[in-house]
Structure 1
Amino acid sequence: MGSSTSLPKANTTFSLALFNKLSDDNKTANIFFSPFSISSAMAMVMLGARGNTAIQMSETLKFQDCQDDVHTSFGQLLSRLKTPGASIGLSVANRLYGEKSYTFKEDFLKQSRMHYSAELESVDFKNMCEQSRVKINSWMEKQTKGKIKDVLAKGTVNELTSLVLVNAIYFKGDWSAKFSSSDSRHARFEVNKTDTKPVMMMHKTTYFPLAFIPEVNCQVIKPAVILSQAVFLPVYIFLEKQLTYETFVEWTHPNRMKNTEVDVRLPRFKMEETYDLENVLTSMGMVDAFDVGVSWALCFLGDGCRSGPRRWERRVSFFASAATASAAATAAVASSSSSSGPPSPRSVAATAAAQAGQ
């Protein structure tokens, strides 16, 4: 086993690994996702994972070398993610929706409450699956201040669904140096060496922490929403393979950043992305969790029902202008292919929507 690590390091390492994988799958596409929403929702699922499935999930999420218990660390991290000031709003919410006719393991419910503040709400999946789906979507929409809607599409849950685990994140904060709408200008955004696109560019000339990374011919700037934010500006090269936890920490270290007067131009944008997370996570090593032939036994249910995560749904929305607001939601649905059979894996979808500017 390697040297011990912290949960933030594990989450960052997973984030960059997922970013690399999505980049490999499509080298020219925009990529937008919330790694913390994925990690925290999957960590809740790990409370019930056993054997090789738990090992694979831990290794894929980069938890295997955490010096402390992962769930205890998540609980401590979630408790620290409180609003640090009046200009920032940050909330993270988790919830369980369980089929009302099932009895869930008390230890699983206890650990979910203790570490993730996730309470169980009973719903009638067997007889009112569509109404239950709408109820879950409404909760996530409320938690994300209306930014995230319809995470669970029709057909995602059915009469065989036993449990849905959901995570919702909402953030809103001001830029440390605000962009004025009156300073936005029409400009050409350079997609690559030869292609450009017309955009409305937000503009600000002021002092920001700035660093130049000569080994990859890249600038790093922190236009800094009050919480940490870094923008990498490469000169027509792909950074994905060079971005590791170690290089990320090195390139954004305060000692390397110099407060410099910079003419910053950031495009106002809107984008929507959809990912098949089942294929992505399987290729990253989480195989047994989606293998119909493996009884990975989440142990959610008191009767030992073999019910596994049939579908993962993610939708992310990001808004930024004079103030920034972002939201993310993740839902894991546990179902069986029959009333008594093993889980039936389906496609795993992740949808991300992003918008910046007014």
Structure 2
Amino acid sequence: MVCGNVDRPNVTGLDVRPRRWHRGRNPVNLSHLYLRNARPFLVAVSALAAVIALACTGDTSRSPAATGLVQSDAPRLAVEPADLEDAGAAVEAFGLDLYRYLAAEEGNIVFSPYSAAVALAMTRAGATGETERQMSDVLHADLVADLDAAVNALDQALAARPGRYPVGDQHVELELSTANQIWAQEGFALEQAFLDRLATHYGAGVRTVDFETAVAAARETINAWVAEQTRDRIPELIPDGVLNELTRLVLTSAIYLNAPWQYPFPEGATSTAPFHRLDGSTVDVPMMGANESFRYARGDGHQAIELPYVGGALAMVLLVPDEGAFVEFEGGLDRDRLGAILDSLRSGRVTLGLPRFEFRTQVRLKEALSAIGMPVPFTDDADFTGISREVGEDLVIQEVVHEAFISVDEDGTEAAAATAVIVGETSVPMDPVTLTVDRPFIFLVRDVETGALLFMGRVVDPAG
């Protein structure tokens, strides 16, 4: 274990001269690397932070270092068709695991599986041994040939989703942007291989800040970057007190989505209607109304419907358990059941009632991630020598902070995530049905081609 003075020269050949910052493309998530012992649209934004710190305290003084951008010159890798296969499956599996843990708490939930997965995958790029194995298991790396290549392919696929699309007699804009950025202590020694991996697979460089003597300014800088990437929907991802003088690295991944519905809800069709909460009480909410051709399914104890966004590449899926069946349905939702539900969707005329909703979730994920399979990265047994051979054995993830926001109305979705669109059906059309979402439900914002979950959550009280 390295204790005492941790002033280290930079890796041989590493250029730390200030450079123009090139933004990468990826969702809003923060992975803070701390020293041990020291943390009118549908709008959805998300951020994650994993904090890594040294395993010992002591003299951490160092000579002043120039601020700027530490970045590999390695170009972003081109996407091979095979890299995109099953990329969404890994994100979906991770999201469902995390949802089951978060669902133990009461209230509404929104989070971004994609955003969280990207931030953790960047952190995993510097892990070795049991630390790397556990992070790979939690991220379901076994479902893809190469997790880094899969994330790169998925990120670049999402970059092709934005554009102007026709709706009726006009064209509307779908905006989807992602960005990754790493923040390191000035003068902190980073492995060239780690920098290369960040550049080639995540489009990310490393910005230097001063956690040791100007931690408040460093926090303000990182939060300002997140706010910019999320159009100010997440203005303060990292709360006061999470970072300290032992912080060495913060990995951030941001995603923003502004997506109009393919079939907007007519404003004149919105009326006040009761919504039945889990405890049996009711609350009056603005209930939007539409009568369109949607993909819909009626299953054992539930209904499901897919609402496409313009362009056909993104969609929101609503899973609506029968009255009194929400808890049982939620507890049994896994990849097999979700896959069966999605496969059962068929096009037909649906009279739909859906409440407007808007809320925010702020959560720390250390306990959740430990519980679903990666406790070692949070302990003194963690090994991040892939980040720095100098002190990698003394680095540990101290905390993972996540925040997401979502707002749904008649026009569509604005979010730090992605959207999915309905595909055509060749089967016999179903009979017209009515679905009034007047009870707790689960929502998924998906990329249709890959199946990646960009956002996931539940609404148990649209008013609160």
Segment of structure 1 superposing worse, 68-77 or 177-186: 177-186
SS at match of 1:201: strand
**Between the two proteins, what is the percent identity of the paired residues?**
27
Contact 2:291 2:350 in 1 (8 A): yes
1:179 aligns with 2:269: no
The within-5 A match list for 1:1-358 is 6-23=86-103, 25-26=104-105, 28-63=106-141, 65-84=142-161, 85-86=163-164, 87-192=173-278, 194-213=280-299, 215=300, 217-226=301-310, 227-235=314-322, 236-237=324-325, 238-253=328-343, 256-291=344-379, 293-305=380-392, 306-321=394-409, 322-327=411-416
Rounded to whole Å, the distance in 2 between the matches of 1:192 and 1:298 is: 48
Q: CA deviation at 1:60?
A: 1.6
List runs of 5+ in structure 2 lacking aligned partners: 1-84, 165-172, 418-456
Q: How many residues align?
A: 322
Task: Work out the CA distance in 1 between the residues paired with 2:149 and 2:366.
Answer: 27
Q: Quote how far apart the aligned CAs of 1:301 are.
A: 2.5
Task: Quote how far apart the aligned CAs of 1:262 are.
Answer: 1.8
Q: Which residue in 1 is equivalent to 2:80?
A: none
Tell me which amino acid in the other structure corresponds to 1:224: P
Matched residues in 2 for 1:115 and 1:198: separation?
47
Q: Which amino acid aligns with 2:320?
A: L
> Using the alignment, how far apart are the partners of 1:313 and 1:298 within structure 2?
23
**TM-aligned CA distance change 1:353 to 1:247, over 3 Å:** closer
TM-aligned CA deviation for residue 206 of structure 1: 2.1
SS of residue matched to 2:416: strand
Instruction: Provide the rounded CA distance (Å) in 2 between the counterparts of 1:158 and 1:194.
Output: 45
- C-alpha separation in 1, matches of 2:99 and 2:260: 26
Give the TM-score, by structure 1 length.
0.84
Distance, in Å, in 2 between the alignment partners of 1:130 and 1:91 is 28
Q: Using the alignment, how far apart are the partners of 1:304 and 1:210 within structure 2?
A: 54
Is the 2:128–2:385 Cα contact (8 Å) retained in structure 1?
Answer: yes
| 1:203 maps to amino acid | G
Residues in 2 aligned to 1:30 and 1:356: alpha-carbon distance in whole angstroms: 8
8 Å contact from structure 2 (residues 109, 458) kept in 1:
no
The structure with more radius of gyration: 2
| Distance (Å, rounded) in 2 between the aligned partners of 1:89 and 1:243 | 30
Q: Deviations over 1:262-281 (max 9, x none)?
A: 22111112323333311111
Aligned CA distance change for structure 1 residues 176 and 356 (closer, same or farther; 3 Å): farther
Change (3 A) 1:295 1:212: closer
Could you list the structure 1 runs, at least 4 aligned residues long, displaced by more than 4 angstroms after superposition. 352-357
Secondary structure at the aligned position of 2:143 is classed as coil
Partner of 1:345: none
Whole-angstrom CA distance in 2 between matches of 1:295 and 1:47:
14
* CA shift digits 1:230-259 (9 cap, x unpaired): 111110313223322222122112xx3332
Q: Distance in 1 between matches of 2:291 and 2:143?
A: 42
Query: CA deviation digits over 1:157-190, x for unaligned, max 9?
Result: 1221111100000011111110133322111111
**Deviation of 1:327 (Å):** 2.2
The corresponding residue for 1:348 is: none
Does the 8 Å CA contact 1:298/1:308 hold for their aligned counterparts?
Answer: no
Q: Which amino acid aligns with 1:323?
A: G
- Amino acid of the residue matched to residue 71 of structure 1? D
The question of whether the paired residues in 2 share the 8 Å contact of 1:97 and 1:123 is answered with yes
The answer to whether the Cα contact below 8 Å between 1:316 and 1:353 also exists between their aligned partners in 2 is no
Query: Which whole-Å deviations, capped at 9, do the CAs of 1:116-154 have from their partners, x for residues lacking one?
Result: 111111111112111111011101111111111100111
Shift of 1:35: 0.7
- The normalised TM-score by structure 2 is 0.65
One-letter amino acid of the structure 2 residue matched with residue 42 of structure 1: L
Residue identity matched to 2:95: S
C-alpha separation between the residues in 1 aligned to 2:279 and 2:350? 23
How far apart in 2 are the matches of 1:218 and 1:90? 31
Mapped contact 1:151–1:315 kept (Cα < 8 A): yes
Structure 1 runs not aligned, ≥5 long: 329-351
Deviation at 1:353, TM superposition (A): 12
Shift in CA distance, 106/192, structure 1 to aligned 2, threshold 3 Å: same
CA RMSD of aligned residues (A): 2.3
Matched residues in 2 for 1:132 and 1:193: separation?
A: 44
Q: CA deviation at 1:31?
A: 2.1
Structure 1 296/34 Cα, relative in aligned 2: closer, same or farther at 3 Å? same
Supply the distance in 1 between the matched residues of 2:266 and 2:232 (Cα, whole angstroms).
Answer: 25
Q: What secondary structure, in the 3-state scheme, does the structure 2 residue paired with 1:158 have?
A: coil
Q: Output the amino acid matched with 1:48.
A: G
Residue 53 of structure 1, CA deviation:
1.1
